Amino acid sequence: MNLAGALPVMNIYKTLREEAYEANMEIQRHSLAVYTWGNASAFDPKSGIFAIKPSGVDYDKLTPDSMVLLDIEGKIIEDSQRRSLKPSSDTKTHMVLYREFSSFAPSSLRGITHTHSTYAVSWAQAKRSVPVFGTTHADYSIEEITCTEYMDEETVKNNYELETGNLILETFRKRNLNPSNNNMVLVAGHGPFTWGNSAAHSVYNSVILEEICKMAYLTITINPHAKPLPEHIIRKHWERKHGPDAYYGQT
């Protein structure tokens, strides 16, 4: 056995498992899912390997070692020391997004989170995209938070989780959205997926998404005729945080 070559690989495995574990713990800490709902994954673009929550395991029973390692084609990577658990049922959705979205900006897609948070799921079940009603939303996206169409019956029968990923891809292509600047989506009737430059950042975006969806719901409850924020205010808030002359924060 080539120990010199094996050690870096084992270090990648360990790092990915730890990152995925911590991200999944954040889902529970922020009450974005109950029981075994939801999942987060951590991806290493160089090796094409990601770690994801095992299917149907309670959060309080998770450990870094229980995270499942897979390659970008969805093949489980077995360690010589242990037998892998079954990965999350949403694994193929993560796999598709890593494989296809990474070409836009490899450094900006190293983690994906899927939750069943109340307000985000409610907008997905209503099959409604979330308008940019205020500056909180504009700080994170200049676009509405897009909701996909429903999948047709034949597509659902084909390979549901893989087709969920394809549906997200198709939605972004049709609407000319860049996943680097739009790191959250609602899948109609299902719920939210978010991504980021780390597994932790993808959960952060899930927390932000839930708050935006909650604010948007309250906005249309107070005023059913509420209009999106004017474009010039949206642009100002986005650019002061993300533009070439950004001045938000300490950098």
User: Which residues have a catalytic role annotated?
Assistant: 139, 248
Helix, strand, coil % in the chain, rounded to nearest 5: 45, 15, 40
Q: Are 183 and 101 in contact (CB under 8 A)?
A: no
| DSSP code at position 64 | G
Residue 55 CB coordination number (10 Å): 15
* Cα distance between residue 95 and residue 102, in whole Å: 11
Asked if 133 contacts 229 with a C-beta cutoff of 8 angstroms, the reply is yes
Q: Which of 208, 201, 200, 195 is nearest to 101 (CA)?
A: 195
Q: Which long-range contacts (CB under 8 A, 24 or more apart) does 74-78 make?
A: 77/13, 77/49
- Sign, CA dihedral 204-207-213-215, equals negative
Range 175-183, long-range pairs (CB < 8 A, 24+ positions): 175/146, 177/143, 177/146, 178/104, 179/97, 179/101, 179/104, 179/105, 179/108, 179/109, 180/104, 180/105, 180/108, 180/109, 181/141, 181/142, 181/143, 181/242, 182/141, 182/143, 182/146, 183/108, 183/141
